[in-house]
Structure 1
């Protein structure tokens, strides 16, 4: 039995992203206005440096699955249903893709991520709250 060839991260992301539709900043903004849950998984230093998206739920990446699993004992109050539309946002749109796929595995079939991440949101001129 031979070992499988390693998969690089670029190939992995391409393959995983083919399983769902990512959304652009304006689409994410519209989705949030229609009830989607924006989830910011950036680490604290980036949030402090660049600001926050108003209304986004901040969940550190290492806690995401526990906080968004509607059946979990540590779920956030916003994690009400497997049918919840979730838009995961990281800094540039890479880690969020892996996170969205993980949420799909938990049954959150409407989970997606923001193409370009927070930086694309900010560049699009969408609302950002600066940290003091």
Structure 2
């Protein structure tokens, strides 16, 4: 089976339509109350690599549903008048995700070139993934 429109073409198209920040440019916005960082990595990546302090985790597979206010899965974090800066591990998924949510009407949006790896290398504040309710161990009685 030949792929007619591969990931390289999709990335090039997305990158031509979206804003991209370097890790340093993104980190300069980290404490801005009008900016929300959105981590779209898989939960296993968060457990393995850690999380960016202050970022909201929105798994890539749920992003469109969480962004759309008409969805039963909508998250109010995406209804705020903020700039949303998306990142993944290396910047590919976040470029595609940023293009998608921008086409959905979420604005302003951007993504981080190089993703979490670039943020980490630039000295971003990284913490261990907090335990979620499903991760929590039952309390002994």
Which position in structure 2 is the counterpart of 1:77? Answer: 76
CA contact 1:84–1:108 (8 Å) conserved in 2: no
Q: Tell me if structure 2 keeps the 8 A contact 1:41–1:96.
A: yes
Q: Which runs of 5+ in 1 are unaligned?
A: none
TM-score norm. by structure 1 comes to: 0.86
CA contact (8 A) 2:91 2:115 kept: yes
Contact kept, 8 Å, 1:22 with 1:113, in 2: the verdict is yes
RMSD: 1.9
Of Structure 1 and Structure 2, which has the larger fraction of its residues in strand?
A: 2
Most deviating of 57-66 and 23-32: 23-32
Partner of 1:98: 96
Deviation of 1:71 (Å): 4.8
Relative to the length of structure 2, the TM-score reads 0.81
Residues 68-110 of structure 1 show CA distances to partners (whole Å, capped at 9, x for unaligned) of: 23454422231224x5311111110001111001101110131
- Are the counterparts in 2 of residues 25 and 114 from structure 1 also a CA contact under 8 Å? yes
Aligned residues between the structures: 127
1:43 is matched with: 42
Q: Residue 37 of structure 1: SS of its match in structure 2?
A: strand
Between Structure 1 and Structure 2, whose CA radius of gyration is higher?
A: 2
Q: Which runs of 4+ in 1 moved over 6 A?
A: none
